[in-house]
Structure 1
Amino acid sequence: MTSRPLRALTARLSRAMPLLIGLTLLIGFAAAAPARAVECSRQEHDGNQYAVCSVDPAAENLRLFLHDTTGTPIGHFATLDAALEAQGRDLVFAMNAGMYHADRDPVGHYVENGTEIMRVIPTPGPGNFGLLPNGILCIEKTSARVFETRDYLERRPDCRHATQSGPMLVIDGKLHPRFLPDSTSRYIRNGVGTTADGSRAVFAISDNPVTFHEFARFFRDGLGLPQALFFDGNVSRLYAPQLGRDDMGRRMGPIVAVTEAAE
């Protein structure tokens, strides 16, 4: 005859079995699920709100897009998504990536798939782009780094993709010298920062209008990045399904994106 304590233990195990099986399946699924290609989040810094997406360029297909196969400017995330779908690829993340002329050709240096489309512009000029020092996002085979333009010209890194914009936000851990703490010029702004070794590229866009000084401090103090580059204001757009973002609006010039093979 089975003892009363043993029968009670057996009954408890029987009731717990469905939960144990469910936990086992959940743990197994979590272990088998692939890591996200891009990690996006919403962050706050000094009372301002930002959408932030971090990319490992050694693990993900991070690259630039400007024209389609016919030479027509892509201009919109939806156009890029459709073109990728025809190639059996998915758009995972995208952001406008540098200033451009009315025909959407880049204002500054631009390299796509190893081909230089626009030379480096090292001289000062009007507008934000010419507010030196400006800089260049360089995407190499397994890394991505922001270079101040003069440093880029000295080092001549081997960029598969590159886009020039300006001004620099953070230069070797210091804010751009022309940024004013008490500035009243506020816009929606977007840009990119990179780690010193190029192992991580972090793209950010403000959810509310911010000054250059606030935006730069977010990259330096909020994200802890030693180099950061301003992409644009007003035109700033983000495609980040994790955050429910698929921004519409003005047509863009260069677009930086992460793509992956469609399942």
Structure 2
Amino acid sequence: MTKRQTTSLPFRRMLRVAVAAAAGLLGLHAVAPAHADGPCRSAHFEDMGYVVCSFDPAEAQLRLFWRDESGRPYRTFSALAGALDRQGTKLTFAMNAGMFLPDFTPLGLHVEEGRELRPVEAAAAPADVHPVPNFYKKPNGVFYIDGGSAGVLTTERFLSLRPKADYATQSGPMLVVNGRLHPAFIEGSRDRTRRTGVGVSASGSVHFAISDSPVNFYDFARLFRDRLGCRNALFLDGGRGTGLYSPELGRNDWSWHGGFGPIVGAVEQR
């Protein structure tokens, strides 16, 4: 990753602050609902487009999914939606929920209905793997749901606190840790791709985001911290591993990996 050379960083910071202040006065950074009755809406932050889907975990039924009743990975949002429909429920939102192995097994921790189906991956990246995969860029972290609340913690903090978790997924790197961007992120980096992530704001709301176009880690992390008010946020995946299911937006994305591993979704009773 390299820094842009065309404009000095101090000047760019001042320019960004000035633009942000003006945009705030004009309402240019407003996150406008695409449909009033759905959780997902289009958002713009510093000339980048995103879809942001927000939930109150005390009201929404947020869950994690991996395998169907036969033990096979769902892989697609359509397969998951169909299975839930046969159970008398409706999938209203879904997004890829973390990285996975070639057989669609979650790379790290995966908990469903309080059952740990995959353990925490606390090891460092294999020494012979270069560059270091995103999952292993410490600190990585865990997104978890416990009844009517949710949180994002670094993996180390999660292992230390061992919070009760009905659902949990591990990924990495962390985007925001206690209000600070991940120390490895570089402003102006040209390492850009489509990205997904999740954060929890001070109010306890859960925010999922997917970029409309390639974005670097630095700018993506700032979306969560500076626009969505998340003191802690976690990267879920990037590039071909990203996807969104949103009926009100007409989205039912497909992964070019042949499917997704872990999936996070919101469910409603029919």
Instruction: Classify the TM-score, shorter chain.
Output: 0.7 to 0.9
Choose the corresponding residue for 1:208, options 210, 213, 237.
213
Q: Encode CA deviations 1:21-60: one digit per residue, 9 max, x unaligned.
A: xxxxxxxxxxxxxxx7852111111111000000111111
**Residue identity matched to 2:219:** E
Name the structure 1 match of 2:20: none
Contact 1:37-1:60 within 8 A present in 2 as well: no
Kindly state the Cα deviation for residue 200 of structure 1 after the two structures are TM-superposed: 1.1
Q: Secondary structure at the match of 1:59?
A: coil
Choose the corresponding residue for 2:143, options 137, 142, 161.
137
Contact 2:242-2:255 within 8 A present in 1 as well: no
Flag structure 1 segments of 5+ consecutive residues without an equivalent: 1-35
Name the structure 2 match of 1:255: 263
Q: Encode CA deviations 1:164-199: one digit per residue, 9 max, x unaligned.
A: 0000000011000000002111100001000246x2
Kindly state the Cα deviation for residue 119 of structure 1 after the two structures are TM-superposed: 1.2
CA distance in 1: counterparts of 2:255 and 2:173, whole angstroms:
23
Name the structure 2 match of 1:241: 247
CA distance in 1: counterparts of 2:200 and 2:100, whole angstroms:
22
Name the structure 2 match of 1:13: none
CA distance in 2: counterparts of 1:229 and 1:74, whole angstroms:
23
Structure 1 residues 261 and 37 mapped into 2: Cα distance closer, same or farther (>3 Å)? farther
Contact 1:146-1:228 within 8 A present in 2 as well: yes
Kindly state the Cα deviation for residue 232 of structure 1 after the two structures are TM-superposed: 0.2
Name the structure 1 match of 2:199: 193
Q: Secondary structure at the match of 1:79?
A: helix
Flag structure 2 segments of 5+ consecutive residues without an equivalent: 1-35, 126-131
For the aligned residues, what is the CA RMSD? 1.4
- Runs ≥4 residues deviating over 4 A: none
Q: How many residues align?
A: 227
Which has more radius of gyration? 1
**Residue identity matched to 1:202:** H
Pick which of 242-251 and 97-106 moved more.
242-251
Kindly state the Cα deviation for residue 123 of structure 1 after the two structures are TM-superposed: 2.8
**Residue identity matched to 2:247:** P
Kindly state the Cα deviation for residue 117 of structure 1 after the two structures are TM-superposed: 1.2
Contact 1:196-1:227 within 8 A present in 2 as well: no
CA distance in 2: counterparts of 1:54 and 1:243, whole angstroms:
14
Q: Structure 1 length as normaliser, TM-score? A: 0.84
